[in-house]
Structure 1
């Protein structure tokens, strides 16, 4: 934690607008202010109001300021040891302690977590990865609470995805994130193991991706391939003739070339991955709260004066209102907030006025839900075990699902044909008119397929440039953002979780430099587009 403080003093955020230049020396002042806000927040979180007697939870009586300093002290001991001994407790002692904790609904402790060090909004793959990486590195030094509205994950983007992971991007940072993600998946039986339980099995299928390009897109495909090779990706560039020889079932009409992943690509079971991440995070001490964040409280940092206005524009979040499934409301105070609410992250930002008013605060988190369909079809004569996840030049994809002649397929609609998001109903006409004709043209045996089932899920769609937004918000100086991955979140979750952990504990990225993914690019209107990538 002290490494974070030292590194934070070096962190200078430079946010450019059209007319003015602000220098935000964020964390030099935020950490003392954050400690202060724990005891002087604008709304008193009294037991009578925030923790009524009929709730299964009760308040914690410790003083949050004393506790914060105790945590910092413990954390220092944990990293450097005291008298040559590690702060990590005996496993049997930890086990006995955990067994004594009273349990409430959904496995939550009966003691309501009225304050924490890090509050993560969103318990999907990205939010759970953030929690896991923080707890795995900080041990007991930081108290992490994750708020997730959909505790069953029925509507979660993670579990409704097709679970693909690839290296085939044009932005180097995305390639690096997926390479780490693949390494994380490979080591997941070890990394996500929990004592007394079966090791996780994410059911990874290493069949790779095959990205096809027409004559119009072949040069961009070649440029992407060169970037991928330079970043250490294991991919191969193949002409149409080479593709036909390797995949006799493939119709290469209109195809000039393709790139196929040789290693570190394929697909896995999103539900098993998410469940294993969450289970491990909980075993490390993370608390999950079933509820929705419906309010955020903040105060201004009066000692932060800008050069332009002579007044403070910076703010510090200090408390979240949580609405529980039964309609009751509770509050959690915190030092740091991580917005990993996926498709609803823009909505979280609006709780504190992000997107309202003028200047920087008037720029919204440009993330909104977009509905995408996944269709499961049966084609007994379709491609066999050598079938990769194939992406047609028009963006339609398919991949094998198991060994019984089943395939998953889909296509992103054009901007003018975006479906409504008020429900998760599936448009089967879209399959008949768009998806089926494309895959039947590419694989003739798909002409006789039968639609077996279908579902829809939400993308956390970044309307600005369809790439993730990661890092501190320039106004709310203890709000980290990790959202907007536009369909790539499941494969980048591990890398994003590690990156957020590094930013919080060390004040800077140490593994992959993701500064280009910061919110600043939205302010300066400098989009970071992927080229020829779905």
Structure 2
């Protein structure tokens, strides 16, 4: 997200070298070879999916924009002297299954998706079985299938493409962690604050960065950065007392082998239970998981994987839906963090109403990677033009947190 914003700022700046952009990265050390960079970053620990099957028009528009961007990615992010950018996109689509209780909602969502220009088909249980014979349709009343611009890609390639292109355009990189309070200039008489400095005592380049504005794109840890800027630290009944409701949530991804599993046309399957899976490569490997319930939320102190969670919560659901998975063999697993918005599971994008030069791009709750091209463009427009020009994302502003008005997305995975 940060490198996308940096790229779009430099791409859209009014003249060459009009602005100086610094990206602060804590999960990157110059003392490590490149293969060790971003070892705990949510981007590279995601499953790399992109879909248009949302219920909110804004989310659909962002993903449509991103799909178009990814289709022509080499035109945007190619760096002279380097190989073409290939994100290894697999266009197998997403397949959502709905029970009787959720069928009407799924149909309504598809109608919105089609109105926004997404190509999505509805399938009855009979049509579903004909198209995907390996699926057990028990308990399925309706399914929706993305026909184009959906699938998955390599997150590492996208991250490095944004980073390499941004650096080639003059963006500075700082390897360090913001650990001290951001310095504020207080203006009580106009009820606004302004960030002046960012301090990073452990940085390899800059101990202090003087800035005209700050974009908080710190993902799962963005609420900590927000508190350093005074957000949520004031009286509870004031604007300054409204916190950024973003927390780290640990999610497991499991990889298994099943030689008799679904073929190469296997989509990203989202079961009625919330369990998901997709094919990984051509060797009969698959990956998947499920979001835990509130009571099952794992400890976030490390990225250790709970293997019993797969045996007890994931495997039974997937084996019921895909009978060939009854004989699967788990090969590996990993865990990563969601920047989970506890308020409404939708992002917080845009300017803070009180800290007049603090912008947010966080709280995507698992959808940040696929929406990063669109969000980067949107934040750049806000900064350079003072308004959204491509996609209006005002529905995701910080103001909704103050008003207590949720932006509800019905297709959260």
TM-score bracket relative to the smaller structure: over 0.9
Give matches, 1:197-276, under 5 Å.
197-276=82-161
Partners of 1:316 and 1:325 lie apart in 2 by: 23
* Match of residue 226 from structure 2: 349
CA distance in 2, matches of 1:224, 1:436: 28
Once residues 252 and 203 of structure 2 are traced to their aligned partners in structure 1, the CA distance between those partners, rounded to angstroms, is: 28
Equivalent position to 1:432, from 303, 311, 327: 311
Structure 1 position 150 matched with structure 2 position 36 = no
Q: Is the 8 A contact 2:93 2:146 kept in 1?
A: yes
Residue of structure 2 equivalent to 1:11: none
Are 1:458 and 2:337 an aligned pair? Answer: yes
Equivalent residue number for residue 316 of structure 1: 194
The aligned counterpart of 2:183 is 297
**Could you tell me how far apart the structure 1 residues matched to 2:284 and 2:203 are?**
41
Normalised by the length of structure 1, the TM-score is 0.74
Q: CA deviation at 1:355?
A: 1.6
Aligned residue for 1:511?
390
CA RMSD of aligned residues (A): 1.1
SS at match of 2:312: helix
Does the 8 Å contact 1:190/1:199 carry over to 2?
no
Structure 2: how far apart are the matches of 1:432 and 1:364? 37
Once the two structures are superposed, what CA deviation does each residue of 1:144-175 show, in whole Å capped at 9, x if it has no partner? Answer: 00000011100000000000000000000000
- How far did residue 529 of structure 1 move? 1.2
Structure 1 runs, 4 residues or longer, greater than 6 Å off:
none
Give the structure 2 partner of residue 36 of structure 1.
none
* Residue aligning to 1:131: 6
Query: Could you list the per-position Cα deviations for residues 385-444 of structure 1 after superposition, in whole angstroms to 9, with x for gaps in the alignment?
Result: 110000001110000000000001110000111101000000001000011001101111
Contact 1:471–1:500, Cα closer than 8 Å, also in 2: yes
- For the residues of structure 2 that align with 1:342 and 1:161, how far apart are their CA atoms? 13
CA offsets, 1:493-517, max 9 Å, x none? 0000000000001000001000110
Q: In 2, distance between residues paired with 1:233 and 1:245? A: 23
Unaligned runs of 5+ in 2: 29-36
Distance 2:104 2:137 in 1: 17
Q: How does 1:67-106 map to 2 (within 5 A)?
A: none
Deviation at 1:356, TM superposition (A): 1.7
Rounded to whole Å, the distance in 2 between the matches of 1:346 and 1:277 is 24
How many residues are matched?
Answer: 400
1:163·1:269 contact (CA, 8 Å) conserved in 2? yes
Give, in angstroms, the shift of residue 323 of structure 1.
2.8
SS of equivalent to 1:215? coil
TM-score (norm 2): 0.95
1:163 aligns with 48
SS of residue matched to 1:191:
helix
Query: Is the partner of 1:292 in helix, strand or coil?
Result: coil
User: Could you tell me which residue of structure 2 aligns to residue 281 of structure 1?
Assistant: 166
